[in-house]
Amino acid sequence: MNITKKIKILLQEAKLYHSQGLLNEAMEKYNNAKKLIQSNEQLKTHQNLINGISNKILALNEDIIKIEKSPKKPEVSAKMQDLIKKMVSFSSDKNEDLKALDGAIALAKLGQIKRAISEFNELIKTDSLRVVAAKSMLRCYMALSSKDEAVAQYEQWISDHRFSTIQLDKLRVFLENILKKEGVEKKLSKRKPPKDSIDEVQTEEPEVEDEDIIDINSLGITIHRGSQKGQVVEFKTRFQLGNVVSLLISIRDKDLIDVFKVGDMIDDIQYYSTAALYKGSGTVKSIKEVKIGPLRGDYCMDIKITLNQP
Amino acid sequence: MAIFNIKKREIECKIVYYGPGRSGKTTNMEYIYKTYKKQIIGEMVSVDTEGDRTLFFDFLPMGLGQIKGFDIRVQVYTVPGQVQYSSTRKLVLKGVDGVIFVADSLVVRREKNMLSLKDLQHNLKEYGINILKIPLIMQHNKRDLAEQGIPVMSIDQMEKDLNRQLKVPSFSASAITGHGVGATLKECLKLTLLSFKKQFKSG
Ligand SMILES: Nc1nc2c(ncn2[C@@H]2O[C@H](COP(=O)(O)OP(=O)(O)O)[C@@H](O)[C@H]2O)c(=O)[nH]1
Ligand SMILES: [Mg+2]
């Protein structure tokens, strides 16, 4: 193939790639063409060609810069935000609360932070999601680089009776840790303990959250004994401390309570986080009857989780 | 994870166009939107940025009418192809029932095709889905470019690169002219609905 034809083909390719938005590919072809011309000074139109290509490269560079500069996750219309929610809540999973949580988390992930904050704020009303939603809300404030607002929000929760002291402790440790990561050492205030605390079943100090641990919303356990043998029963997470999740077995499922024993290894658990399904196993750490409060009579079971490597 | 609404006798499922950036996913959907008016039950929604790159996803709601007394509804999505939108791609895949992988026939995009297929496999796995088990169709797009003298891979080459192990149905296409676009989607819908039938039988 003669040089002129080679150059012509390269330029044709480059032009097409540019028009299709394949900018790096276009750049490579222009540069190849340029080199070819430069090494063949006997070409009659030598300088013209080089000038022409240089102009094309300039235009291409402008496009590359435009794309680099455009916001990666701009705020979109409310209608589009609704669609984001709809997109991730698409599943036959019946639990509307978990769907709403998925939606809010997706909004946050896609940079729709303000909307996400208002969604999380709604979810705080739901018992089982309160801590997850509150944590996510704090994360959102941090993403907006408003540390003060995160702290102010936490302080407001201290006097919010929907939060138990244990839940608040978890949020305090959580927020202190994320602030520390941002280089802010701050001791946050605690709720003053009431004279006779009523709604606390557990009294352990909350562990420091491990950031690598995934927030588990619910888990599915295959039952091997009793009347529900062979079925996968789904339990909602009441709360989670590091790699220990706490679930509630309703007194109505009394026969399930007898299925589990402390120390049991349970293989084949499906863990549902907001983003994905994980498979793993778990060990039953404790089973306690709730003695006081609105859940009296129900059982609280703690499972130490082990996720399979994906 | 399609939604079966027995009361309303309605089945709603989710199809996702996957593939490397600029392979023609949005163009596929635009062609469907223009051409299959009867099956379109709402607006096509696109969010794109500078240089019409898909930002989050494109969305098209479709209705296939009745099958065995059930109203079949389909939510069709495309993913953004650029590498930096990995977490968005994963979100779009949530609850997916069928996937169309749009591969770019351009020789210069060979490696990007393979990387994107790996990315698909990885993201499906995170949802506990095996790429060998989900309804999946391969589309070799931009076949028209060969006529313009642009280097395009042979179908053999592309099948070897992308479909040797999967062995899924594949179609040649030119989304810009519409060639192969309808056939690809129809096959994907067929496989997806068939997979529901199997699920019903086994469960
Ligand atoms: N020649 C040709 N160009 C195509 C074809 N399909 C898409 N394109 C072009 O490729 C570019 C990227 O297409 P787009 O649909 O936005 O790709 P996406 O990133 O996969 O959504 C656009 O310039 C399209 O016009 C095709 O079949 N033939
Ligand atoms: Mg697109």
Task: Mark yes or no for CB contact A66/B90 under 8 Å.
Answer: no
Q: Are residues A164 and A202 in the same domain?
A: yes
Residue A83 lies in a domain: no
Q: How far apart are the C-alpha atoms of A113 and A146, rounded to whole Å?
A: 12
Q: Is the per-residue pLDDT at B127 higher than 60?
A: yes
Q: Do A150 and A141 touch, CB atoms closer than 8 A?
A: yes
**How many of the other CB atoms lie within 10 Å of CB of A264?**
13
Q: Mean pLDDT over residues B162-167, rounded?
A: 97
Asked if A121 and A97 count as a contact pair (C-beta separation under 8 A), the reply is no
Residue A282 in any domain: the answer is yes
Residues A226 and A298 in one domain: yes
Name the residue range of residue A199's domain: 124-211
- When pLDDT is averaged across residues A193-206 and rounded to a whole number, the result is 51
Residue A76 sits at the chain B interface (C-beta within 8 Å): yes
> Does residue B51 belong to the interface with chain A, where contact is any CB pair within 8 Å?
yes
Tell me: pLDDT of A209 over 50.
Answer: no
Report yes or no on A273 lying in a domain.
yes
Per-residue model confidence (pLDDT) at position A15: 97
| Statement: residue B55 has pLDDT above 80 | yes
For the ranges A64-78, B17-31, B60-74, the maximum mean pLDDT occurs at B17-31
A248 and A173 in a common domain: no
CATH among 3.40.1130.10, 3.40.50.300, 2.60.40.1930, 3.40.1800.10 for B3-202? 3.40.50.300
Using 50, 70 and 90 to split pLDDT, how confident is the model at A212?
A: low
Is the model's pLDDT at B101 over the cut of 60? yes
In a domain, A167, yes or no: yes
| Residue A206 pLDDT > 70 | no
**What's the CA-to-centroid distance between B81 and ligand 2, angstroms?**
7
The reported pLDDT for the residue numbered B123 is 94
Residue A270 lies inside a defined structural domain of this protein: yes
- Confidence check: pLDDT of B193 > 90: yes
Q: How far is the CA of B156 from the centre of ligand 2 (A)?
A: 26
Write down which residue in A211, A239, A269 finishes a domain.
Answer: A211
Per-residue confidence (pLDDT) for residue A174, from 0 to 100: 94
Position A202 scores a pLDDT of: 47
Cβ(B137)–Cβ(B99) below 8 Å: yes
Q: Say yes or no to pLDDT of B152 above 80.
A: yes
Kindly state whether residue A97 falls inside one of the protein's structural domains.
no
Q: Which residue from A30, A1, A10 is spatially nearest to B149, judged by alpha carbons?
A: A10
Same domain membership, residue A200 and residue A275: no
Whether residue A297 is contained in a domain is answered as: yes
Q: Say if residue A201 is in the same domain as residue A274.
A: no
Residues A138 and A153 grouped into a single domain: yes
Q: For residue B108, what pLDDT is reported?
A: 98
B67 touches chain A (CB under 8 A): no
User: In this structure, which ligand is nearest to the CA of A16?
Assistant: 1
**How many structural domains compose chain A?**
3
- Which ligand does the CA of B54 lie closest to? 2
- Residues A192, A234, single domain; the answer is no
User: In the prediction, which pLDDT does A198 show?
Assistant: 52
| A67 Cβ under 8 Å from any chain B Cβ | yes
Is the model more confident about B132 or about A96? B132
Work out the mean pLDDT of chain A and round it to a whole number: 84
- In angstroms, what is the span from residue B27 Cα to ligand 1's centroid? 6
A195 is a domain residue? yes
Residues in Cβ contact with A204 at an 8 Å cutoff, skipping those fewer than 6 apart: none
The finding on whether B144 has its CB within 6 A of some atom of ligand 1 is yes
| Separation of CA A55 and ligand 2 centre (Å) | 28
Atom of ligand 1 nearest to the CA of B145: 1
Contact A83 B126 (CB under 8 A): no
One domain for residues A285 and A300 = yes
pLDDT at A199: 52
Within 8 A of A28 by CB-CB distance, chain B residues are 108
Name the percent of chain A lying above pLDDT 90: 36
Q: Which residues touch A74 (CB under 8 Å, ≥6 apart)?
A: A111, B49, B55
Check whether residue A133 and residue A206 sit in a common domain: yes
Could you tell me if A308 lies within 8 Å of chain B, comparing CB atoms?
A: no
Domain of A272, CATH number, reads 2.40.10.220
Task: Provide the pLDDT for residue A205.
Answer: 39
Residue A94 in this model has a pLDDT that exceeds 60: no
Q: For residue A249, what pLDDT is reported?
A: 84
Of A56 and A262, which is predicted with more confidence? A56
pLDDT classification of A149: cutoffs 50, 70, 90: very high
Is the pLDDT confidence value at A67 over 90? no
Whether the Cβ atoms of residue A95 and residue A218 lie closer than 8 Å to each other: yes
Q: What is the pLDDT of residue A294?
A: 66
The CA distance from B155 to B140, in Å, is 8
- Max avg pLDDT among A101-115, A130-144, A285-299, B177-191: B177-191
